[in-house]
Structure 1
Amino acid sequence: MLKAQTGTSTNGNAALAAKEAVQKVKEVENAKMAFVYSGVQYDQKALLDAIAAGLPGVPLVGNTSFTGVITQEGFVSGDEGFVGVMAMGDEDMTVGVYGMAKEGTARETGKKVAQEALKRAGKTTAPDYFYMTAPPGEEELYLKGITEVIGRVPFFGGSAADNAIAGEWLLYTDEMVTADGVAVAFFYTGKGFANEYTGAYEETDKVGIITKVVDNRTLAEIDGVPALKKYQEWTGASDEDVAGGNLLAYAITAPLGVKDPLGDVVAIRHPMNGNDDGSMAIGNNLAEHTAVILMEGSVDELIQSTGETLDALKAKLGEGPAAFHLVHCGGRRAGIGDRIDEVAKALKEASGGVPFMTEFTFGEYGYEDDSKNTCGGLMLSFTAFGK
């Protein structure tokens, strides 16, 4: 039977914080891996070394999280740092963990990491599902490299984040720490698994065709006009609202969305920066000659959607959950602001006492039904593990 437990700390000393968090998860028998999420304030290597010493032989994987984590204890954050650990154990589960700094292209690195993760698991076949963490920027390309090796396997995870969008994010395993690379955990188990991947925004009737994209993530034109101008027409945003980095905050309640071919997933595309030439920097890749939709959602709705999404996940799993891994966009968390404790309350109530770990990311990964694995922003990627 799968067992999981979480532990947290806000001790300003990385090694002591690790010891405090690990003390709460040592009871997990047959621990096969542990997720670790932390604040950028720490010396991450010191933190990980101390966690590894407390959980000998247990592979670790994770990344820095935006401002905190949420567990059954509530929203956990600290000015001097924070850490959350979730250990998972099951004698019938095998996990292969591996990560490395970027070597060659992102796609080539993803391929190498997947090949080594198979070796770490002692397997030659694809896992039942897998976890991925990468930095913001080339998530889709790392995923392509992994897919070359194992095919389309259900996945979940998120992009490393920092507290100020300053490029201080890191991802790591117990063997390495890097700002630019990828790490995975390949899971082999007969137990249930489900992922609920959603932005939980409402579609508007404002839709346009992407007519020009530059370098995958700069939206230059919609319907043949500057993208920023079209966005202002749709939203009524002022020039100041969309100037430079102001756009990032404004778009939290008015992002863009793109649909998969069957309409099963609306992947949210977060406008990050308004450029002087009328283009918009976007948090994920876009494709020309596809439709983009203006989405909308109030802060009240962003908060309410967390508990509702966890309820939907439990229904999708269809059996008793042993643990939840919850990826919550850092941008949404910024928009929610001081009301983050309402999210913690909603998640605790919906979890029904099942252990869960919530991280805040700058990119979220998941899938819906038989759609392809997808990377998005301003999204929730909630995952359940069956007993």
Structure 2
Amino acid sequence: MFKANVGSCTSTNAFEAGKTAGMKAAEGLSNPKVAFMYSSVAYDQDELIKGVKEAMNGVPVIGNTSFTGVITPEGFITGDAFVGIMAMEDDMTVGVAGMPKGIDAITTGEEVAKKALENAGRTDSPNYFYMVAPPGEEEFYLKGITKVVGRVPFFGGSAADNTISGEWKLFTDKGSFADGVAVAFFYTDKKFANKFTGAYNETNKSGVITKVVGNRVLAEIDGVPALEKYAEWSGKNTKDLLGMNLLGATICAPLGVKDRLGDLVAIRHPMNGNEDNTMNLGNNIAVNTAIIYMEGSVDELISSTGKTLNELKEKLGANPGAYHLVHCGGRRAGIDSRIDEVVKEIKDAAGDVPFIAEFTFGEYGYEQDGINTCGGLMLSFTGFSK
């Protein structure tokens, strides 16, 4: 039967923290098949992994650094040093693989998928998979993986640090790296569900993307410089949106793009306002598609966590064995000192089901029959049935 357990530690000694959290997560489990781990950037991640391997020898580990902390049934685990681990066991096969970026992101995605198949001892596509990458090229790693296994439901999030300065790491039990991708392929007959949402409110302010530079620089909306159009929609002055000011100003008022059937609005977080009135976004966009001005209060950001978890339970339609919760780090920054309210929302909705929540700089998921996709300022909540 499916079982999961969660452990955490705040020791500043990386090896001891990994060992302690690993031992706690392994309690009551006889044969864990995989362990998700999320940690502070303050650690030497390779020492942390050594500690986990001391506690759970032979168990595949996968994860990344998390923004400011993690949430477990114990509460919000934070501080200069923290690590949270959720180990899972069942009659299932899990193939974990990770590698630094090679020639390009698509090729690396293909290679990591092939390695995960090899590590699982399988040649067929998994029932679902988990992915972690750094912020920047998530969509291209996904394209590479999809070339190998086809469209398979997935979930996950992008590695984060505390200062948006590139200190993040992702890792498996084989080691850590800053740029690359890691996956866990799951083979099981148990139910799985993912709820992927921004939980923002759609407004009637929208326009057509008429110019993009590269993949993530929004240059024009309806032929108007993007920062000017955003300032018009938000009632702000463009000068107040320059540089990193834009990132904070848009947490409660981001942009969104709809999928082709309108089932999902994937959030696009404006990250930086440029002097030429273009803006850098956290995910890819395309010319001649619509972009929407979205809104949400801090109260709604908080309440959406419990609401989304309850929606996930309904979507799973089976007795839940564990929850894996990806929560955007930007949302967490906007929530700020009210994070304990999020803890209460999640714990009330989860009940006695084990869970771990990480804070990321990008979130991955899908809605119904739509393709897998990536977004920012979103929640990607996943449930595994017993």
Indicate whether the TM-score tops 0.5: yes
The Cα offsets for residues 49-88 of structure 1, whole Å up to 9 and x where unpaired, read as 1101110110000000000000111110012x10000000
- Counterpart CA distance in 1 for 2:190 and 2:125 is 16
Aligned to 1:242: 241
Q: Is the 8 A contact 1:100 1:176 kept in 2?
A: no
* 1:88 is the counterpart of 2:88: yes
Instruction: State the TM-score, normalized to the length of structure 1.
Output: 0.99
SS in 2 for 1:63: strand
SS in 2 for 1:292: strand
- Counterpart CA distance in 2 for 1:29 and 1:102 is 35
Q: Is the 8 A contact 1:3 1:29 kept in 2?
A: no
Aligned to 1:72: 73
Q: Is the 8 A contact 2:226 2:277 kept in 1?
A: yes
State the AA in 2 paired with 1:11.
Answer: S
Aligned to 1:14: 14
* 1:162 is the counterpart of 2:183: no
Aligned to 2:102: 103
Aligned to 1:46: 47
- Counterpart CA distance in 2 for 1:7 and 1:316 is 27
Q: Is the 8 A contact 2:49 2:175 kept in 1?
A: no
- Counterpart CA distance in 2 for 1:340 and 1:156 is 23
Aligned to 1:220: 219
RMSD: 0.6
- Counterpart CA distance in 1 for 2:19 and 2:79 is 16
- Counterpart CA distance in 1 for 2:75 and 2:29 is 21
- Counterpart CA distance in 2 for 1:168 and 1:15 is 19
- Counterpart CA distance in 1 for 2:30 and 2:153 is 26
Aligned to 1:274: 273
- Counterpart CA distance in 2 for 1:144 and 1:167 is 23
Report the Cα offset of residue 17 of structure 1.
Answer: 1.0
- Counterpart CA distance in 2 for 1:54 and 1:30 is 13
Report the Cα offset of residue 238 of structure 1.
Answer: 2.2
Identity %: 66
SS in 2 for 1:191: coil
- Counterpart CA distance in 1 for 2:35 and 2:74 is 18
Q: Is the 8 A contact 2:23 2:56 kept in 1?
A: no
Aligned to 2:203: 204
State the AA in 1 paired with 2:88.
Answer: M
SS in 2 for 1:12: coil
The Cα offsets for residues 253-311 of structure 1, whole Å up to 9 and x where unpaired, read as 00000000000110000000000001000000000000000000000000000000000
* 1:30 is the counterpart of 2:70: no
Aligned to 1:294: 293
Q: Is the 8 A contact 2:20 2:55 kept in 1?
A: no
Q: Is the 8 A contact 2:228 2:238 kept in 1?
A: no
- Structure 1 runs, 4 residues or longer, greater than 4 Å off: none
SS in 1 for 2:98: strand
Report the Cα offset of residue 142 of structure 1.
Answer: 0.1
- Counterpart CA distance in 2 for 1:11 and 1:264 is 44
SS in 1 for 2:250: helix
Number of aligned pairs?
A: 385
Report the Cα offset of residue 240 of structure 1.
Answer: 4.1
- Counterpart CA distance in 2 for 1:248 and 1:319 is 39
State the AA in 2 paired with 1:75.
Answer: F
State the AA in 1 paired with 2:53.
Answer: A
State the AA in 2 paired with 1:245.
Answer: M
- Counterpart CA distance in 2 for 1:23 and 1:183 is 23
- Counterpart CA distance in 2 for 1:381 and 1:19 is 28
State the AA in 2 paired with 1:89.
Answer: E
- Counterpart CA distance in 1 for 2:10 and 2:166 is 22
- Counterpart CA distance in 1 for 2:157 and 2:116 is 18
Q: Is 9-18 or 282-291 further displaced after alignment?
A: 9-18
Matches within 5 A, 1:169-184: 169-184=168-183
Instruction: State the TM-score, normalized to the length of structure 2.
Output: 0.99
State the AA in 1 paired with 2:146.
Answer: T
The Cα offsets for residues 16-56 of structure 1, whole Å up to 9 and x where unpaired, read as 11122122122222200100000000000000011011101
- Counterpart CA distance in 2 for 1:137 and 1:19 is 32
The Cα offsets for residues 148-199 of structure 1, whole Å up to 9 and x where unpaired, read as 0000000000000000001000000010211000000000000010000000
State the AA in 2 paired with 1:63.
Answer: N
- Counterpart CA distance in 1 for 2:121 and 2:36 is 21
Report the Cα offset of residue 239 of structure 1.
Answer: 3.1
The Cα offsets for residues 214-260 of structure 1, whole Å up to 9 and x where unpaired, read as 01000000000100000000001123431110000000000000000
- Counterpart CA distance in 2 for 1:119 and 1:272 is 38
Q: Is the 8 A contact 1:240 1:246 kept in 2?
A: no
State the AA in 1 paired with 2:295.
Answer: E
Q: Is the 8 A contact 2:19 2:53 kept in 1?
A: no
- Counterpart CA distance in 2 for 1:25 and 1:252 is 34
* 1:126 is the counterpart of 2:125: yes
